Structure 1
Amino acid sequence: MLHGRAREQAQIERLLEGARNGHSGTLVVRGPAGIGKSALLEYAAGRAAGMRVLRGVGVESEAALPFAALHLLLRTGLDRIDALPHPQAAALRGALGLGDAPPESRFLVGLATLSLLSELAGDGALLCLIDDAQWFDQASTDALVFAARRLEADGIAMIFAARPGFPAPGLDELRLGGLDSTAAAALLPADLPPQVRERLIHESDGSPLALIELPAALSPEQRAGRLSPVGAMPVADRVQAAFHAQMAELPEHARTALLIAAAGGSGELATLVAAGASLPGLEAAERSRLIEIRGSIVGFRHPLIRAAAYHGAPVSRRLAAHRALADALTSSTAPDAADRRTWHLAAAALGPDEDVAEQLEEAAGRARTRGGHAAMAAAYERAAELTADPVRRSARLAAAALAASDAGLMRRAAALADRATPDVDDPTMILALTQVRAHREFELGTPLAAGRIIMDTVPRVAAHATEQAHWLLVEAVRCAWFAGDPRLAEQAAAKLDALPGSPLVSQAIGLTRLLRGDIPGGIRLISEVLDVPALAGLGVPGLTFTAGVCLPAGRAALCAEITGRVVAECQQSGMIGWLSFALQDHGFAQGLLCSYGEALATLDAGLRLATELGHEHRVTHLTCCIAWVLAHQADVPGCREKAEEGVRRADDQGLVLAASIGRWALGRLELGLGHPEAALRHLAAIPPTGIGVLCAADQIEAAVRSDQPERAEEPLERYLTWARHVGQPASDAIALRCRALVEQDEAHFVEAVRVHESGDQPFEQARTRLAYGEWLRRSRRRADARAQLRGALETFDRLGAELWAGRARAELRATGDVPAAPRRAGDPLSVLTPQEREVVRLAAGGAANRDIGAQLFLSPRTVGYHLYKAFPKLGITSRSQLAAIVRSSSIEC
């Protein structure tokens, strides 16, 4: 019976009931040691009638073993791995050491975990109980939290019990506090004197474990109230001391068995006995209720008992226990025996030991093949600590830093890189350390600082490795582009001129010229290398850079094409870090091409991924891009909230490019609402160089409509120069519209409407017809105005640009016409959520639920659930009808 936990028990009951009804849920129960987390997990297990239950527990000594905790949780369901899609099954087998597999993305392992849990739930419900999650290895934590965030319609309840500090952002939490005095009193023996009871209740802070264990440790004088029942130490320490006193009364062979079990971690009975834990000693410890032996596994009744058994022993005995366990694992055939043996040897080392350090390097290599980058980092770091030679130690720290960066642990990666010797001359090591430090600064600091880190390192790399220096300089230009800093770009471009040419070099120098205001020179250099032959052979990083330069070159369609390929390749190969970049540019390009629904779905997927990776810069940039798309639609509060949040964060982080997109979103929103003065304030704050040329047309319109034509002169000259050198029909037509607005010349309007017919941006075409129609109405040519305004309204309606449709509708009413009611006939998918839209789009192309799940990082059951919700919204009853619906949608405008 649990005392004082009625509210928490009710929350668990609701979670279990939801799982039984097909709705998944996750709960992280947080609190200090002894507060009752494990008791709540036991309560959940006892109430899980009719559900399959999986249980796992974290062990501190196994935190460096990749996927050790995940294997423990899933071991009873591993016979269902073959039911998963082959790439997922191979990744999970490789991660768990059950088969050979190349390095795989940790997100692919997470997706495999999600699919396996869904498979194990079947048509019923599944309960996953995860105790001491703070001791889970990082790889297991990543996989389980990844799966937990995507549980929707799988009938799975997942409960984590963890101490404060366990990373689980986005998951529901239940913070456990101490019991109240009534519940606390119910746990104490009834024969204690009142003053002793009151003192124990006060000193225990309501900790159930303390209330249960401390009374048993009282001396007769303390029980009688003649001596203080407790000392001045934290509750957890008092309880641990009580356990240690209990162990002190055991015979020597029992204490030895407890120490070996505490140091062993895995709890395998055969290994513990081989290391010197006698069966009689284990039996004595079990009779004292300190451990539990279930089959061939030895487990401690509470983590504080394990801590008391280990830390209460002299250091000489702890080291001897690790050496004995290493010897016992020598002949083990378990998949992870070699790693466990190595870590026990490392724990027993008293100082530098090159032999053990080399074995740790081998363990890191095994972790790499299983995708355990965090474990790989830990192995390299410990190897460095055991290394006497400073150069070799720095090399191992560099390897640890790279592995931590690959694991998404950017702060830890940077800290490891900072510990390496600064004057090493190995170009590979220098390059690795530079990438780690720059990556951390780019995503958590500022792009400008990242670029400076790169520039400080380039001379040392260039002396030995020209190609690597070449790529570093291109990266420095990209940092400058995101930071809006022409000086950094010019420093990098000057060095690039001296290196062998390539498409990326020309693109980087072109971006540099755009940043310093040389539009003709920048566009010429970029445009020369955007043809397909020039891009052949570029990998994902190079193609991602190229896609980014397509936008200021006015090639949104090419950007969408390239990033579409990159997205597919990243999803297939597991290059998740680059995937968030690709989704960002792909979604923004889709927005420029007027596919607003599809753009929102793409950008939303990128935002979720960037949030999980902890890429703060990417989160800010994607937030601003989403706001820009929303500026065309009816969600005014949502657009304003995201844009203002994104601009604030971008300004704080030195992200000039992201801030420019956010301000552009606010400017376009105010234009759509008919507030040109407010629009001009936002648009005029955007730097004129860089991406500022793309939003110059909006700035021109805002200046003209707010009766400030003099403020249109500079952006008009800038946009006309850009359009002339870009040479695209859409930009040529927009340039004519801008001239018509400033010069009030109808001939430019007429020509703009004609040129738009060859372009690929129907939204801009509709804006031109709206502006022309407004001009005609003010010229009292109402019949002519209606023709232009009706065309504009039809396009705005079809695209779902509700704000702009509203403007066109108001203008039509002013001509005496009665416009049709707002409609979205051209986009039947507009009734779907972004997630449902992506599921429907892939299903319409013939993809099976498992394939869709693999692309969108969802379980097959959740994919089916989204289709189940989408069908009635679309007015259809079968999957075969989806293709026709999608074809009729305007998302491919």
Structure 2
Amino acid sequence: MLYGRAGEQAKVERLLAEARAGRSGTLVVRGPAGIGKSAILNHAAERAEDMRVLRGVGVESEATLPFAALHLLLRTGLGRIHLLPDAQAAALNGALGLGDIAPRSRFLVGLATLSLLADLAGDGALLCLIDDAQWFDQASLDALMFAARRLEAEGVVMIFTAREGFPAVGLPELRLSGLDGAAAAALLPADLPPQVRERLIEESDGNPLALIELPAALSAEQRAGRLSPVGAMPVAARVQDAFQAQIAALAEPARTALLIAAADGSGELETLVAAGATLDGLGAAEQNRLIEIAGDAVGFRHPLIRAAAYQSAPTARRLAVHRALADALTRSSAIDAADRRAWHLAAAVLGPDEGIARELAQAAERARSRGGHTAIAAAYERAAELSVDPIRRSGRLAAAALAASDAGLMDRAARLADRATPDVDDPEITAALVQVRAHREFELGTPLAAGRIIMDGVPRVAARSAERATWLLVEAIRCAWFAGDTTLAEEAAAGLRALPAIESPLVTGALGLARLLAGDIDGGVPLMSEAVDEHRRAGLGVPGLTFTAALSFALGRAALAAEITGGVVTDCQQSGMIGWLAHALQDHGLALGRLGRYGEATATLNAGLRLATDLGHEHRVSYLTCTLAWVLAHLGDRQGCRARAEEGVANADKQGMILAASTGRWALGVLELGLGRPDAALRQLQAIPVTSIAVLSAPDQVEAAIRSGQPELAQEPLARYVAWARQVRQPPSDAIALRCRALVQEDEAHFAQAVHLHGDAQPYELARTRLAYGEWLRRARRRADARVQLRGALEIFDRLGAQLWAERARAELRATGDVPAAPRQAGDPLSVLTPQERQVVRLAAGGASNRDIAARLFLSPRTVGYHLYKAFPKLGVTSRAQLAAIAHLPD
């Protein structure tokens, strides 16, 4: 029975009721040790008698073993892994040590976990209880958090308990405080004198465990009220002292058994006995309510008991127990026995030991095969601490730093890198350390500082390896592009020119990008074009293709950028390269937006934003936020665009993310133009540095200057854009250049030629040209001619969902005496769907199964089914077969 927790119990019971109705939910229960977090989980389990229940508990000593906690939680459902999509099944089997194929990404394991939980829920509901989550290994936690943030319509409830400091961004929380006086009094023995009861309630601060355990530790004098019942120390420490007193009163076999169990952490009865724990000793500890034995599993009744058993033992005894456990694990057949043995050996020594360091390094590589990047970092870090040779120590620290960086632990990665020997000569180690420091600075600091870190490290790397130095310099130019810094770009380009030439389109493209940043359009664009044209023959991987897509954007080749990024997104999804997927989704969303496919672009960018948030990549979050604002500006979403653009620009400005901030300002400029506020638009567009995307945003700046009555301010952006368009030689760019010249020069021939050149590649830009031409014709009192252009513009704007621009076209048509059609998205029944429903319907219409759609969109199959269930009535269809008719409609 729970005292004083009626509100908390009701909240848990509401979650369970919603799960029974098919709606998923999550809850993080926070509070200090002994406050009753586990009791809340017990209450949930009692109320879930009609649900399947999975339960796992974090153990501090196992936090370095990748996926150990996940294996424990899912152990009763492992037999259903084979029902998952092949890539997910392989990833989860590999992570749990049940298969030979290593998972390529921790987030692919997370997707498999989500799918398995949905499958285990079946047609009913599933309750997943995770106790002491702060002590779960990071790999398990990543998978569970990934799943928790994507639960929708599976009928799954996940409840975590954790102490303060546990990261659970975006999940609802319940914070437990101490019990009130009446509830606290109900937990105390009735035979205590009133003054003792009052003092215990006061000193315990309402902590339930303290109220239960402290009375049992009172001496006769304290119970009688003749001595103070407790001392001046934190509640958890007082309770732990009470447990230590209980342990000290036990016979030697029970104390030894408790110490071995506390040092081990796995709870395997066979291992504990092999290490010297006697069954009599374990039995005595169980009789005293310190541990619980269920079959062949041993568990402590509370984490503070484990801490008391371990910390009360002398150091020599702890070391001896770790050695005994290492010996016992030598004979164990458990999947993770070798890893646990290495860690026990490491805990049993006080100084450097190369043999143990080697075993830990081997454990790190085994963790790599299972995708446990945090475990890799921990094992290599401890191996470095035990290393005798300084070069090996630095190499292991570099490996730990890279693994921590891959795990998204940027600050830890930087600290590990800083501990490496500064004078190490190995170019591979030096380059790795430079990459780690730069990556951390790029994602959490400023791209300019990241580039400077690279430039500082290049001379040492170049002295030993020109090739590794080359790739570092290419990365430095990329940093300069994001930072809008011409000095850094030129320094890195000079460094590239000084090194032996490497035949690669990436080098050519980087040199061209550096020139473009410096304002040398005539010199930079041809090099970038050469790189893009050659990329298919270069056999580039995902990083190289991502860089090529960025060059395509800068060349105005949106269709090629969409093709490349679409392929990269698919590659990342299929191979599990989730670290690159957020970047790919960002670029693909922007490419789709440039092509006027705004619905698909919005869904893609939202997916990327959620993923970047999960990864903790602050730079990517800001960039995605600004890019999403840019798409929303074209859709005329005033509130959504402003909120995202202002948030993204503020964050980007603080961290010197010039490219991201420029995208946000471009978004606000487009929005203000659509609202008919050219002065405000011009202020935003003029704030975009010429070293950033000022070429791409120049047409909007030209129009804003003309419409605000300041044609002199249109001359520079016009010249800039015309010079660029002349070099890139793309029909849409030539057409936009003609539109800009027509606006400045009021030359009808330029308008007519622009409309002819546009084609269908970028419908939004064609509509903008036809609108501008129609407005000019109306002012020239050629109403019939104006209507032709304005109707064409309106049809495109309506179809694209560009509401503000459609309103402008409608207003112009009315001014010609025409009566325009009501607002619509002609021929697009998908306009009634949410972005998520739109993506699901398109994939389903193309023949993809719910499982396939779930794998591509990082959802569970049940959530996909829910979206289809909601979409069918909106579309007026009753079956998947009817969706085929809309499979190829424009987005």
Instruction: Within 5 Å, give how 1:540-551 maps onto structure 2.
Output: 540-551=542-553
Unpaired segments of 5 or more residues in structure 2?
Answer: none
One-letter amino acid matched to 1:271: T
Which residue number in structure 2 is paired with residue 789 of structure 1?
790
**Contact 1:210–1:239 (CA under 8 A) maintained in structure 2:** yes
Instruction: Within 5 Å, give how 1:540-619 maps onto structure 2.
Output: 540-619=542-621
One-letter amino acid matched to 1:859: S
Farther-moved stretch of structure 1 (318-327 vs 483-492) = 318-327
Q: Deviations over 1:586-627 (max 9, x none)?
A: 110110110000111111111111111110000000000000
Which residue number in structure 2 is paired with residue 199 of structure 1?
199
Which residue number in structure 2 is paired with residue 328 of structure 1?
328
One-letter amino acid matched to 1:608: R
Q: Deviations over 1:450-480 (max 9, x none)?
A: 1111111112222222222111111000000
RMSD, matched Cα: 1.1
Instruction: Within 5 Å, give how 1:356-755 maps onto structure 2.
Output: 356-498=356-498, 499-500=500-501, 501-531=503-533, 535-755=537-757
| Matched position secondary structure for 2:603 | helix
CA distance in structure 1 between the aligned counterparts of 2:171 and 2:755, rounded to whole angstroms: 51
**Contact 1:571–1:855 (CA under 8 A) maintained in structure 2:** yes
CA distance in structure 2 between the aligned counterparts of 1:753 and 1:256, rounded to whole angstroms: 87
Which residue number in structure 1 is paired with residue 134 of structure 2?
134
One-letter amino acid matched to 1:563: T
Which residue number in structure 2 is paired with residue 271 of structure 1?
271
| Matched position secondary structure for 2:174 | strand
CA distance in structure 1 between the aligned counterparts of 2:565 and 2:311, rounded to whole angstroms: 54
Q: Deviations over 1:690-729 (max 9, x none)?
A: 3110000000110111111111111111111111111111
CA distance in structure 2 between the aligned counterparts of 1:375 and 1:330, rounded to whole angstroms: 21
Unpaired segments of 5 or more residues in structure 1?
Answer: none
One-letter amino acid matched to 1:799: L
Task: State the 1:103 CA deviation.
Answer: 4.4
CA distance in structure 2 between the aligned counterparts of 1:635 and 1:176, rounded to whole angstroms: 41
**Contact 2:622–2:651 (CA under 8 A) maintained in structure 1:** yes
**Contact 2:486–2:691 (CA under 8 A) maintained in structure 1:** no
1:123 pairs with 2:123: yes
Farther-moved stretch of structure 1 (733-742 vs 42-51) = 733-742
**Contact 2:92–2:113 (CA under 8 A) maintained in structure 1:** yes
Task: State the 1:270 CA deviation.
Answer: 1.2
Task: State the 1:886 CA deviation.
Answer: 2.8
Task: State the 1:410 CA deviation.
Answer: 1.4
Q: Deviations over 1:135-188 (max 9, x none)?
A: 100110011111111111111111111111222211111111111112111111
One-letter amino acid matched to 1:159: I
CA distance in structure 2 between the aligned counterparts of 1:490 and 1:75, rounded to whole angstroms: 56
**Contact 2:505–2:538 (CA under 8 A) maintained in structure 1:** no
Which residue number in structure 2 is paired with residue 261 of structure 1?
261
| Matched position secondary structure for 1:459 | helix
Farther-moved stretch of structure 1 (861-870 vs 130-139) = 861-870
- In 2 relative to 1, CA 85–759 (structure 1 residues): closer, same or farther, beyond 3 Å? closer
Farther-moved stretch of structure 1 (530-539 vs 130-139) = 530-539
Task: State the 1:398 CA deviation.
Answer: 0.5
Farther-moved stretch of structure 1 (674-683 vs 108-117) = 108-117
CA distance in structure 1 between the aligned counterparts of 2:688 and 2:82, rounded to whole angstroms: 54
CA distance in structure 2 between the aligned counterparts of 1:551 and 1:533, rounded to whole angstroms: 15
**Contact 2:636–2:674 (CA under 8 A) maintained in structure 1:** no
CA distance in structure 2 between the aligned counterparts of 1:662 and 1:632, rounded to whole angstroms: 13
**Contact 1:384–1:397 (CA under 8 A) maintained in structure 2:** yes
One-letter amino acid matched to 1:698: D
Q: Deviations over 1:177-225 (max 9, x none)?
A: 1111121111111222222111111111111000111111111111121
Q: Deviations over 1:555-574 (max 9, x none)?
A: 11111111111111111111
1:864 pairs with 2:865: yes
**Contact 1:275–1:327 (CA under 8 A) maintained in structure 2:** yes
Q: Deviations over 1:322-368 (max 9, x none)?
A: 11111111111111111111111111111111111111011111111
Q: How many residues align?
A: 889
CA distance in structure 1 between the aligned counterparts of 2:451 and 2:840, rounded to whole angstroms: 39
1:222 pairs with 2:219: no
| Matched position secondary structure for 1:150 | coil
Task: State the 1:759 CA deviation.
Answer: 5.2
Which residue number in structure 2 is paired with residue 314 of structure 1?
314
**Contact 2:448–2:483 (CA under 8 A) maintained in structure 1:** yes
One-letter amino acid matched to 2:843: L
**Contact 1:535–1:543 (CA under 8 A) maintained in structure 2:** no
Task: State the 1:388 CA deviation.
Answer: 2.2
Which residue number in structure 2 is paired with residue 99 of structure 1?
99
CA distance in structure 2 between the aligned counterparts of 1:516 and 1:532, rounded to whole angstroms: 24
**Length-normalised TM-score, structure 1:** 0.98
Q: Deviations over 1:252-309 (max 9, x none)?
A: 1111111111111011111111111111111111111111111111111100011101
One-letter amino acid matched to 2:749: A
1:338 pairs with 2:344: no
One-letter amino acid matched to 1:786: R
1:241 pairs with 2:241: yes
Instruction: Within 5 Å, give how 1:74-89 maps onto structure 2.
Output: 74-89=74-89
CA distance in structure 1 between the aligned counterparts of 2:505 and 2:54, rounded to whole angstroms: 53
One-letter amino acid matched to 2:744: V
| Matched position secondary structure for 1:329 | helix
One-letter amino acid matched to 1:34: G
| Matched position secondary structure for 1:298 | strand
Farther-moved stretch of structure 1 (724-733 vs 294-303) = 724-733
| Matched position secondary structure for 2:634 | coil
Task: State the 1:822 CA deviation.
Answer: 0.5
One-letter amino acid matched to 1:843: A
1:289 pairs with 2:268: no
CA distance in structure 1 between the aligned counterparts of 2:81 and 2:866, rounded to whole angstroms: 22
CA distance in structure 2 between the aligned counterparts of 1:237 and 1:533, rounded to whole angstroms: 63
CA distance in structure 2 between the aligned counterparts of 1:90 and 1:524, rounded to whole angstroms: 45
CA distance in structure 1 between the aligned counterparts of 2:818 and 2:579, rounded to whole angstroms: 53
Q: Deviations over 1:652-673 (max 9, x none)?
A: 0100001111000000000000
1:43 pairs with 2:43: yes
**Contact 1:799–1:827 (CA under 8 A) maintained in structure 2:** no
**Contact 1:552–1:690 (CA under 8 A) maintained in structure 2:** no
**Contact 2:293–2:299 (CA under 8 A) maintained in structure 1:** yes
Which residue number in structure 2 is paired with residue 836 of structure 1?
837
Task: State the 1:825 CA deviation.
Answer: 2.2
Which residue number in structure 1 is paired with residue 813 of structure 2?
812
CA distance in structure 1 between the aligned counterparts of 2:325 and 2:279, rounded to whole angstroms: 16
Task: State the 1:532 CA deviation.
Answer: 5.1
Q: Deviations over 1:835-866 (max 9, x none)?
A: 21211121122111111111111111111111
CA distance in structure 2 between the aligned counterparts of 1:435 and 1:400, rounded to whole angstroms: 13
Query: Aligned residues: percent identity?
Result: 77
Which residue number in structure 2 is paired with residue 884 of structure 1?
885
CA distance in structure 1 between the aligned counterparts of 2:526 and 2:280, rounded to whole angstroms: 83
| Matched position secondary structure for 2:128 | strand
One-letter amino acid matched to 2:201: I
One-letter amino acid matched to 1:256: T
One-letter amino acid matched to 1:872: P
**Contact 1:693–1:722 (CA under 8 A) maintained in structure 2:** yes
**Contact 2:330–2:337 (CA under 8 A) maintained in structure 1:** yes
**Contact 1:728–1:759 (CA under 8 A) maintained in structure 2:** no
- In 2 relative to 1, CA 534–862 (structure 1 residues): closer, same or farther, beyond 3 Å? closer
Farther-moved stretch of structure 1 (800-809 vs 574-583) = 574-583
CA distance in structure 1 between the aligned counterparts of 2:257 and 2:297, rounded to whole angstroms: 14
Q: Deviations over 1:345-395 (max 9, x none)?
A: 111111111111111011111111111111111100111111122221111
Which residue number in structure 2 is paired with residue 827 of structure 1?
828
CA distance in structure 1 between the aligned counterparts of 2:537 and 2:438, rounded to whole angstroms: 26
Task: State the 1:534 CA deviation.
Answer: 5.3
CA distance in structure 1 between the aligned counterparts of 2:11 and 2:587, rounded to whole angstroms: 42
Task: State the 1:535 CA deviation.
Answer: 4.5
